[in-house]
Amino acid sequence: MLKTVVRRRVLTPVWVNGVQKLKITSQSVPRPPRGLVPPVLDESVHHVRCIQQLRSKDNDIEKYIYLSQLKDAEHRTFYKICLDNMSEITPIIYTPTVGDACLQFSHIYRRPEGLYVSIKDKGSIGKVLRNWPRIDDARISVVTDGSRILGLGDLGVNGMPIAIGKLSLYVAGAGIRPSSTIPICLDLGTNNPKFLEDPLYLGLRHPRVSKEEMTEFMEEFMHEMSVVFPKLLVQFEDFSTDKAFAHLSAFRERYPVFNDDIQGTGAVVLSGFMNAARLSSAASGRPLSDHRILFLGAGSAGVGVAMQLMSFFKLQGLSTEEARRRIWLIDSQGLIYNDRGPMAEHKKYFSRADYSGPPIMSLADIVQHVKPTALLGLSTLKSAFNQSVIELMSALNPRPIIFPLSNPVRLSECEYDEAVQWSNGKVIFASGSPFPSQEYQGHMLHPGQGNNMYIFPGLGLGAILARVSSVTDSMVEASSLGLADSLTEEEHNENLIYPRIERIRDISAQIAHGVIRAAQKAGVDQATYLRNLSDAALMEYIRSKMWKP
């Protein structure tokens, strides 16, 4: 009789001194009944076959569709090739290509994936949630209402791929079981006229509902989520700024929830900034506490990052007030300062009291006024960091920190090759979406990718394993410190500010470790049996919980 389980040789790519090599390992795999697969179907060869099929597609959206179908048909193969080819595949299943997938979602749609909850379900949301087929397994949900997808604006239910993409990274990057994830798109209407007129649009064909109706809906939704899925962590994603702040503050004390754009982006930038500031201060001789950070963009991500960067200064011994004064924000009306007149609530905290002249509008003029050491972009204003701005930053700083963080690539405030040229190779750079490395005067220079994808898998894993009742600021800060500390000596020697994404599982484990400890300190952990584990035992526990494709 045919054995139903056999051991197979598997080729696994590993990184040795920065070079990818193949390691031969062996693994138990179920064997299908004889005759139902081709005579020679070796798994590791099949992975190579899939990668070849992927590479044969000549545009990225075709690649996205291919990978979606592969995930549906053979999810182990999909996750295996994701993990083995992270830097090639993340730009397809995630930013930037996922942005195009969202824009075209109603046209490229093939099969249902995830859960749709619409305003029509108000009053019976629990019933809809109970239709989910894997209720007991549910551990993590990414929830969007599509109101601000990446930098692309209101995409309504076409925002679903962002929730799907983030959860694929939870599985690949942190080893969350695929069956434990629920992508959720809330359909509260859309104000995007193009979609309202598109006959193929998959969502409700009316404008967004009123604020009151939305608030009632969200109250019911979050309550029912906690009843139907008692072990679920919720990640809010790509809600427009006002909603992002409102929902986070309404629910964060009551349910285990965090906002990826405010807190995840904040944590990833804090982490990269800590490493960038060390490099920059080493060149200028100025103390770390002297950094001055100028933000272009004061939406949920901009203010979220600014809040998180206060920790950087506090870690250097500054008071909260001193830390606040190291940060300047710019919105569409220029530098934000008190005497400018009324402004949105979330901008007030960083509004400057030390300037009272006429509005300063141009970025170059603001740079002259502030004299920042770091310029961060969360504005979705393509090319806002132009040649004169970067030359000015380079004149002010031997190694200027320039982080154009807007997504996707085509909304980036500047491109890496430009920043390298205009700063004569001196720039310390991180962007939200990926850019290729550059050769400059015989040296290879590498951009950082300051994307929340480094943070949320590990933050989520730690929160899930500790069974937290809420996600505290200290847990978010711990995720950031865990990431900053995760660089290997080799990565430091290459002047990287973020680790290589290929090491995402190690990075996520390290982040989860810090997050669990922070949760324990805050007393929000319900898995109290983890408290007694030594650091090494806790690390082993985390690794043992990671699902492997």
Ligand X SMILES: O=C([O-])CC(=O)C(=O)O
Residue ranges at the known binding site for a divalent metal cation: 237-238, 261
Which segments are annotated as binding site? 148, 237-238, 261, 407, 451
Instruction: Tell me which residue has its CB nearest to ligand X.
Output: 95
Q: For residues 313 and 19, what is the distance between their CA atoms, to the nearest angstrom?
A: 36
Half-sphere exposure for 313 (CA within 13 Å, toward CB): 20
Q: Which residues contact 201 (CB under 8 A, 6 or more apart)?
A: 106, 156, 157, 158, 195
The token duo for 375 is 């310029």
Q: Which residues contact 11 (CB under 8 A, 6 or more apart)?
A: 22, 23, 24, 44, 47
Where along the sequence are the contacts to ligand X (CB under 6 A)?
95, 150, 238, 260-261, 407, 432, 451-452
Closest residue by Cα to residue 119 from 214, 49, 24, 196: 214
- Which residue has tokens 């490229």? 108
Which segments are annotated as binding site for (S)-malate? 148, 407, 451
> For residue 306, what are the CA distances in angstroms to 95, 158, 186, 206, 346?
22, 29, 28, 35, 11
The token duo for 144 is 């969007």
Q: Which residues contact 436 (CB under 8 A, 6 or more apart)?
A: 416, 447
- Which residue has tokens 């200290």? 474
Residue 166 annotated as catalytic: yes
Phi first, then psi, for residue 187 (nearest 5°) are -105, 100
Which of Mg ion, ligand X, none binds 298 (CB below 5-8 Å, type-dependent)?
none
Which of Mg ion, ligand X, none binds 451 (CB below 5-8 Å, type-dependent)?
ligand X
Q: Which is nearer to ligand X, 166 or 208 (CB)?
A: 166
Helix (H, G, I), strand (E, B) or coil at 525: strand
Closest residue by Cα to residue 470 from 222, 134, 299: 222
- Measured in residues, the chain has a length of 549
Residue 64 annotated as catalytic: no
The token duo for 307 is 């809040």
Q: Are 423 and 415 in contact (CB under 8 A)?
A: no
Please state, as a whole number, how many other Cβ atoms lie within 10 Å of the Cβ of residue 354: 8
- Which residue has tokens 């008692």? 230
Half-sphere exposure for 533 (CA within 13 Å, toward CB): 17
Which of Mg ion, ligand X, none binds 95 (CB below 5-8 Å, type-dependent)?
ligand X
Q: For residues 295 and 336, what is the distance between their CA atoms, to the nearest angstrom?
A: 10
- Which residue has tokens 């969350």? 176
> For residue 191, what are the CA distances in angstroms to 118, 119, 147, 243, 419?
15, 15, 9, 15, 36
Q: For residues 180 and 244, what is the distance between their CA atoms, to the nearest angstrom?
A: 24
Which of ligand X, Mg ion, none binds 240 (CB below 5-8 Å, type-dependent)?
none
Q: Are 456 and 170 in contact (CB under 8 A)?
A: yes
Q: Which is nearer to ligand X, 267 or 360 (CB)?
A: 267
Half-sphere exposure for 116 (CA within 13 Å, toward CB): 18
Distance spanning both ends of the chain, measured CA to CA? 27
**Exactly one of 63, 71, 166, 243 is catalytic; which is it?**
166
Which residues are annotated as catalytic? 94, 166
